[in-house]
Structure 1
Amino acid sequence: MRFLVNHAVFALMVLPLLTVPERLCAQQETVTYRKNNEAIVANLDSADYVRVIRAPRLGFELPQLEEYYPNEQLKRKGNILDAESYPKFHGAVVEYYENGRKKSEAFYDEGLRVGQAKYYYRNGQLKKEMWHGKRPNDQTNEFTDVVTDTLVNYYDSLGTALVVNGAGYVREEIGKDFEEGEYRGGVRVGKWIGSFQKQRYTFSEQYENGVVVYGVSTDRQGNTFPYSSIQTPPQYNGGIAKLMALIGRKYRYPKAAIRGGIHGKVVLGFVVENDGSVNEIRVIHDLGYGTGEEGVRVLNKASKWKPGYKRGVPVRVAYSLPIRLISP
């Protein structure tokens, strides 16, 4: 099981497409083949999806992003703030399943979901309606200071309402796992139970006003893992500032990059294993001239991390790290 902690992720590579529609090959387009973990691969056959970023055109203020499944079905579309960094959505974003049915509709403000959003089952049935971010008070219509995601309505796959106006009981299937409990005021309350990592672990946790106050996970051998936070991201020993200071000391600006006046952002992707070691280091965004390879070399010299946790259990976490280069 992975959960992503993305500080900045972007890669720029123009590659010829083999079987995707002609509309993906117009001018001023950046096309990349990608895996679900954002890694770029060389061809469509080994990709989970194709990302297309189009430069702003007359009548469009922002770059446009579209993603396609290998079967040419649209996966996601929306406008982004900057085509030269990790895609940060701004405005309406729509996602689709491989069968062409709508998966979600949401609105983004500088990369964060805000306001009303709708999510659908694969069969096209509405699954849930949520409010992301600050929500207006029903009486005064003024926004509260509490920033949270609240559930408005929830339906089963046949359309039966299980949560109405933020109140009800839900058992939500998540692949081979599930989460089950009560909503009040749009947030989780009381005892919730479920499983994760394909039923390798079960959990029981207690909520107050949408916040976990304590919980315990149990593996198949009966070992228990107490926690007070559902997810905890990995942490570099000494903090991220210490890691960036290490990179600043150890990074050797390639001579070819200096001669070429190359500057900008290199982004590295890697996995922090459940023992804190770093694995699968790769270059997500490369400026060329050896700048990405040098980043990989330096990151390999870094010490171990404190692993990330999900419900008290150490897990593998996909992570990304931007390195901003300023030509000497």
Structure 2
Amino acid sequence: MRYLLVFGLIILPVALFAQGKAKREHVKPDTTVYKTVDVQPEFPGGTEKWTNYLFKVPIPKDYDKENTQASFLIQMIIETDGSVTHASVRRKINEAMCKAFIAHVNKSPKWKPGRINGKPVRVLYSSPISCFMLQSDE
């Protein structure tokens, strides 16, 4: 019995050392932002709901009342989980209005993400916007 215990104490460390450490493979997340995808991202409820959502942008108090019409492009990244990040305005209009649109878009609900080969991917999404402000006779 004593020899068995000594033999076990000698063999056990050798057996454990022989196992070695498993190599950990670090899989880097795909940070690529795609412009073209198989399935485009979609706002919950579709384009009509997206348009209705944009109509709800609060008009800033310091908005230039003389600038009653503006067209611009808003860009954002729709992440793999559907969240909106990196919203920005191209072809800027009034600075206060740009900030209002960016803040509103960043608060949007999660989208259905874009997909390539059935897998969700990050997508650069652009949306043209036309604003028409009605002037009151004040």
Q: TM-score, normalised by structure 1?
A: 0.29
Give the Cα separation in 1 of the matches to 2:114 and 2:89.
22
Give the Cα separation in 1 of the matches to 2:121 and 2:52.
26
Give the Cα separation in 2 of the matches to 1:245 and 1:232.
22
Does the 8 Å contact 2:41/2:123 carry over to 1?
yes
Aligned residue pair count: 103
Whether 1:4 aligns to 2:43 is: no
Give the Cα separation in 1 of the matches to 2:50 and 2:80.
19
Give the Cα separation in 2 of the matches to 1:312 and 1:259.
47
Does the 8 Å contact 1:266/1:285 carry over to 2?
yes
Shift of 1:256: 3.8
Whether 1:271 aligns to 2:70 is: no
For residues 87-146 of structure 1, give each alpha carbon's deviation from its aligned partner in whole angstroms, at most 9, with x where no partner exists: xxxxxxxxxxxxxxxxxxxxxxxxxxxxxxxxxxxxxxxxxxxxxxxxxxxxxxxxxxxx
Give the Cα separation in 2 of the matches to 1:255 and 1:293.
12
SS at match of 2:87: strand
Give the Cα separation in 1 of the matches to 2:133 and 2:62.
11
Percent identity of paired positions between Structure 1 and Structure 2: 28
Whether 1:292 aligns to 2:98 is: yes
Does the 8 Å contact 2:64/2:94 carry over to 1?
no
Does the 8 Å contact 1:235/1:308 carry over to 2?
yes
User: Unaligned 5+ residue runs, structure 2?
Assistant: 1-31
**The structure with more strand, counted as a fraction of residues:** 1
The equivalent position to 1:244 in structure 2, one of 51, 74, 78, is: 51
Give the Cα separation in 1 of the matches to 2:63 and 2:102.
16
Q: How does 1:79-94 map to 2 (within 5 A)?
A: none
User: 1:232 corresponds to which residue?
Assistant: 39
Shift of 1:262: 3.8
Give the Cα separation in 1 of the matches to 2:64 and 2:133.
6
**The structure with more helix, counted as a fraction of residues:** 2
Runs of 4+ in structure 1 off by over 4 angstroms are none
Whether 1:323 aligns to 2:129 is: yes
User: Could you say if the C-alpha distance between residues 233 and 260 of structure 1 is closer, same or farther in structure 2, counting changes exceeding 3 Å?
Assistant: same
User: 1:190 corresponds to which residue?
Assistant: none
Does the 8 Å contact 1:265/1:322 carry over to 2?
yes
The amino acid across from 1:4 in the alignment is K
SS at match of 2:48: helix
Does the 8 Å contact 2:42/2:113 carry over to 1?
yes
For residues 216-271 of structure 1, give each alpha carbon's deviation from its aligned partner in whole angstroms, at most 9, with x where no partner exists: xxxxxxxxxxxxxx7111111110210110111x2123344342234211321110
Does the 8 Å contact 1:266/1:292 carry over to 2?
no
Q: More relative contact order in 1 or in 2 (CA 8 Å, sep 6+)? A: 2
For residues 283-308 of structure 1, give each alpha carbon's deviation from its aligned partner in whole angstroms, at most 9, with x where no partner exists: 22211241111111211221100011
What is the aligned-residue RMSD (CA, Å)? Answer: 1.9
Larger Rg: 2
Give the Cα separation in 2 of the matches to 1:293 and 1:310.
32
The amino acid across from 1:316 in the alignment is R
